[in-house]
């Protein structure tokens, strides 16, 4: 968790449900500084540019094209803010979509306030936040990669270690528990997770995009 | 054309989910015929395009086939996909990204065109193709028709997409769009006219009777081709409207039902406000109900490992008041010994919910390759496996015993204060082998 001096992490909450926004504000308001709220893509982009938050809590489904659209436009503007996707939707293709567009993690809206604050801290530090569900989606997306010859195997495959870390997270292990289980440091776990995130974002693997389309037919 | 690498989809029984034949708007070069066909036939788009180009060499057959499919095959629509209700609604409201209607590479189109044309000319010089007299007008007419039809597609696309996502939407360059329409229609008509003229002038040497006949056919054909798109769109639109009306009624019914169930839960929650456990249980049950309805496509609710595990977890959660979170990677039909695996997992979940004292139970299942693994984990008080207390005998008997009887393995890992994890593993029957497994009571 970042506590650079006494400066608290500045957070922007983007969600189209006012009730949810105010709920989040009261839950995390003591631990972080909520600098603003936004209800759609247009407002969100303006707020990100003007308020310069450290972390943006971003709803996956948002009027104006969804969270992906916010990420895309903010990337154009080159803002330094980091994004944490927060959603009630379990649609895998949408979740993977925002991660590929640049979000550094995904948590569901049923997360407790303390966990959310911890996740915000991680994202502010530049680390990735993988919930069990996201780890499951990622394993799904990369499944069967070993059989497919590809242009850039480096990006298209998870290493054995990364796969192991993903599986443990999917099994409900916290980073600390993963570290103990594999006899590595928490920092190393974070490195693995960040590397998975990078592969997810950079891989142009045909299967990864086709996967999203296929999955809704499952 | 053997691109169908044996994928995960092939291993899971039959495949009723072949996408319908629809022209695709994204990644298309011309009318999206090849891309749509490739989706439908599960082929590589490139191969389909090469096939069209090759066929064009045979007296322009590929061009004709492409044109025919362009006319007959409807364009894909976002609502037509078998999406879960919540996702479909979010799409309609513009809360999800609509897949960018990006066009394929223009260079590729030119390459294919040149390739096809080259083949035609080659066959001509050999003496096996169409006479130039027929070929040139044919090509000009094809270009004109492509222009006319691309206009029809543009209007249809505008109708299908949410306004803010229309690429050349009326909201942005209204006048530019209209100008483009005029250019397309006039250009298309002009090209068709020129083609007819070229043909008539070229065939001037024919006899009068033949000439009159040809004229009749050519004019009739030209008219049909020009008016055809409009008539066809009109018919399609009527059909679409009828279907939309039916869907609307259906949705209204479902929405009413849904609201009723939510209202009921809210009433119950108010009445049980003093009992936080009951409130949480009610809220979670309702949440699960809604989530399934909103975000899981109909197809996913068949009898598969994923569905069965989620169902089981829901039952355990309801019975013992402890949230059970399920994450499943991959999926497979519930055949062979898998029902026994699910029952063992259920025992493990019940044990964790009843004895561990943990606030939540995590279940992870992976169905990849030739075995299925399930992990049931809690962060509760745990126990020392060396001195198994009486109440944990159930775990050894019903979980480990059951798994071993069915040819699987089970491992229990626990330590006081560390929580418990039960790992289950079961080999999967190979698709070819006869799956004859006795049901155990």
**A6-41 pLDDT, tens digit each:** 578 999 999 988 888 888 898 898 899 999 999 989
Interface with chain B: mutation pick from A58, A61, A107, A144, highest number of B CBs within 10 Å? A61
Buried b (16+ CB within 10 A) or exposed e, B315-328: ebbeebebbbbbbb
A104: closest CA of chain B, how far (Å): 19
Query: By the 8 A CB rule, do A94 and A212 touch?
Result: no
Residue B181 — φ and ψ, nearest 5°?
-60, -50
First to last CA, chain B: 49
Chain A residues within an 8 Å CB radius of B291: 88, 90
Contact A216 B86 (CB under 8 A): no
pTM equals: 0.63
The more confidently predicted of residues B225 and A72 is A72
- B328 in contact with chain A, both atoms CB, cutoff 8 A: yes
Chain B residues within an 8 Å CB radius of A89: 86-87, 90, 295
Round the average pLDDT of chain B to a whole number and report it: 72
A4: closest CA of chain B, how far (Å): 32
- Residue carrying the six token digits 């590595």: A184
* pLDDT reported for residue B7: 40
DSSP string, B25-77: STTBSSSSHHHHHHHHHT--HHHHHHHHHHHHHTTTHHHHHHHHHHHHSPBP-
The more confidently predicted of residues A143 and A162 is A162
pLDDT in tens, B322-360: 888 898 888 788 887 888 899 899 989 998 888 888 888
Per-residue confidence at B11, pLDDT binned at 50, 70, 90?
very low
Query: By the 8 A CB rule, do B312 and B346 touch?
Result: yes
Per-residue confidence at A156, pLDDT binned at 50, 70, 90?
low
Contact A132 B327 (CB under 8 A): yes
Contact B364 A167 (CB under 8 A): yes
Return the residue of A nearest to B369 by Cα: A144
Nearest to B21 by CA among B87, B85, B91, B68: B68
Q: In Å, what is the CA distance from A24 to each residue of A53, A54, A98? A: 16, 16, 20
Mean pLDDT for the stretch of residues B16-41: 74
Chain B residues within an 8 Å CB radius of A173: 377
- B7 in contact with chain A, both atoms CB, cutoff 8 A: yes
Per-residue confidence at B143, pLDDT binned at 50, 70, 90?
confident
Chain centroid offset of residue B194 CA: 42
Mean pLDDT for the stretch of residues B70-94: 66
Return the residue of A nearest to B97 by Cα: A65
Chain A residues within an 8 Å CB radius of B19: 217
The answer for A47, left when phi > 0, alpha when psi is -120 to 50, beta otherwise, is alpha
- How many other CB atoms are found less than 10 A from the CB of residue A108? 17
Q: Is A11 helix (H, G, I), strand (E, B) or coil?
A: strand
B364: closest CA of chain A, how far (Å): 5
Chain B residues within an 8 Å CB radius of A61: 90, 95-96
For chains A and B, count residue pairs whose Cβ atoms are closer than 8 Å.
93
Classify residue B378 by burial, with Cβ atoms within 10 Å: 0-12, 13-18, 19+. buried
> Of all residues in chain B, what percent carry a pLDDT higher than 90?
4
The set of long-range contacts for B103-110, using a CB threshold of 8 Å and a minimum separation of 24, is B103/B27, B103/B28, B103/B29, B104/B27, B104/B28, B104/B29, B104/B35, B105/B29, B106/B29, B108/B29, B108/B49, B109/B29, B109/B30
Query: By the 8 A CB rule, do B115 and B53 touch?
Result: yes
* pLDDT reported for residue B425: 92
- B96 in contact with chain A, both atoms CB, cutoff 8 A: yes
Chain B residues within an 8 Å CB radius of A62: 95
Nearest to B385 by CA among B399, B376, B375, B395: B395
Chain A residues within an 8 Å CB radius of B328: 136
* pLDDT reported for residue A13: 94
Asked if residue B433 has pLDDT above 50, the reply is no
What are B417's two structure tokens?
A: 């204060």
Contact A143 B97 (CB under 8 A): no
* pLDDT reported for residue A8: 87
- Residue carrying the six token digits 């879960």: B84
Q: Is A129 helix (H, G, I), strand (E, B) or coil?
A: strand
- B287 in contact with chain A, both atoms CB, cutoff 8 A: yes
Query: By the 8 A CB rule, do A105 and A125 touch?
Result: no
Per-residue confidence at A215, pLDDT binned at 50, 70, 90?
very low
Nearest to B166 by CA among B181, B150, B152, B177: B177
Chain A residues within an 8 Å CB radius of B330: 140, 143
A170: closest CA of chain B, how far (Å): 6
Q: Which distant-in-sequence residues (6+ apart) come within 8 Å of B237 by Cβ?
A: none
Asked if residue B170 has pLDDT above 70, the reply is no
A179: closest CA of chain B, how far (Å): 15
CA dihedral A48, A53, A54, A57 (to 10 degrees): -70
Question: Distance between CA A195 and CA A201 in Å, rounded?
Answer: 10
Angle at A145 between CA A140 and CA A148, to 5 degrees: 140
pLDDT in tens, B241-284: 888 877 877 777 777 766 677 877 887 888 788 888 788 888 88
Contact A143 B300 (CB under 8 A): no
Q: Which of A65, A94, A132 is nearest residue B165 as measured by Cβ atoms?
A: A65
């Amino acid at each position: 968790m970042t506590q650079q001096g006494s400066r608290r992490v500045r957070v922007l909450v983007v969600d189209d449900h006012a009730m949810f926004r105010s709920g989040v504000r009261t839950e995390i308001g003591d631990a972080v500084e909520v600098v603003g709220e936004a209800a759609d893509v247009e407002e969100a982009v303006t707020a990100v540019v003007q308020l310069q938050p450290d972390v943006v809590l971003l709803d996956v489904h948002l009027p104006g094209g969804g969270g992906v659209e916010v990420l895309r436009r903010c990337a154009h503007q080159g803002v330094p803010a980091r994004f944490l996707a927060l959603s009630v939707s379990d649609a895998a293709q949408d979740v993977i979509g925002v991660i590929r567009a640049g979000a550094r993690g995904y948590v569901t809206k049923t997360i407790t306030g303390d966990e959310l604050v911890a996740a915000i801290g991680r994202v502010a530090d530049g680390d990735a936040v993988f919930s069990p569900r996201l780890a499951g989606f990622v394993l799904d997306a990369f499944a069967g990669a070993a059989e497919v010859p590809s242009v850039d195997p480096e990006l298209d495959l998870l290493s054995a270690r990364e796969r192991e870390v993903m599986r443990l997270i999917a099994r409900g292990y916290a980073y600390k528990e993963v570290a103990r289980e594999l006899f590595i440091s928490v920092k190393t776990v974070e490195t693995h997770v960040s590397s998975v995130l990078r592969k997810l974002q950079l891989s142009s693997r045909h299967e990864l995009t086709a996967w999203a389309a296929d999955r809704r037919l499952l | 054309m053997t691109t169908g690498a044996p994928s995960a989809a092939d291993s899971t029984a039959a495949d009723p989910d072949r996408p319908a034949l629809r022209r695709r708007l994204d990644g298309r070069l011309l009318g999206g015929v090849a891309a749509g066909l490739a989706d439908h036939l599960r082929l590589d788009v490139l191969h389909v395009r090469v096939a069209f180009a090759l066929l064009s060499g045979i007296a322009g057959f590929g061009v004709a086939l492409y044109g025919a499919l362009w006319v007959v095959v409807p364009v894909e629509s976002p609502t037509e996909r078998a999406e879960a209700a919540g996702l479909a609604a979010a799409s309609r409201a513009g809360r999800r990204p609509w897949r960018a209607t990006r066009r394929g590479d223009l260079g590729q189109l030119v390459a294919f065109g040149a390739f096809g044309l080259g083949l035609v000319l080659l066959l001509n010089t050999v003496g096996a193709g169409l006479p130039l007299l027929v070929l040139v007008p044919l090509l000009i007419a094809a270009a004109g028709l492509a222009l006319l039809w691309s206009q029809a597609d543009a209007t249809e696309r505008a109708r299908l997409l949410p306004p803010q996502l229309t690429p050349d939407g009326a909201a942005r360059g209204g006048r530019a769009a209209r100008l483009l329409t005029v250019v397309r229609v006039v250009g298309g008509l002009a090209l068709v006219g020129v083609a007819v003229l070229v043909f008539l002038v070229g065939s001037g040497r024919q006899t009068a009777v033949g000439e009159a006949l040809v004229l009749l056919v050519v004019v009739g054909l030209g008219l049909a081709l020009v008016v055809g798109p409009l008539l066809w769109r009109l018919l399609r639109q009527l059909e679409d409207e009828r279907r939309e009306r039916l869907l609307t009624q259906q949705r209204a019914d479902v929405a009413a039902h849904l609201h009723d169930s939510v209202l009921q839960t809210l009433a119950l929650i108010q009445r049980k406000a003093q009992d936080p456990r009951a409130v949480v249980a009610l809220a979670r049950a309702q949440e699960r109900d809604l989530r399934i309805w909103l975000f899981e496509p109909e197809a996913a609710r068949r009898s598969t490992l994923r569905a069965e595990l989620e169902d089981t977890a829901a039952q355990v959660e309801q019975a013992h008041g402890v949230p059970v979170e399920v994450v499943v990677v991959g999926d497979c039909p519930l055949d062979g010994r898998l029902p026994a695996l699910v029952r063992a997992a259920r025992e493990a979940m019940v044990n964790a919910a009843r004895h561990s004292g943990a606030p939540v139970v995590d279940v992870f299942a992976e169905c990849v390759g030739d075995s299925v693994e399930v992990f049931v984990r809690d962060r509760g008080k745990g126990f020392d496996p060396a001195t198994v207390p009486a109440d944990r005998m159930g775990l050894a008997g019903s979980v480990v015993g059951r798994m071993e009887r069915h040819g699987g393995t089970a491992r229990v890992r626990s330590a006081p204060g560390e929580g418990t994890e039960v790992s289950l593993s079961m080999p999967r029957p190979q698709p070819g082998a006869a799956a004859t497994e006795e049901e155990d009571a």
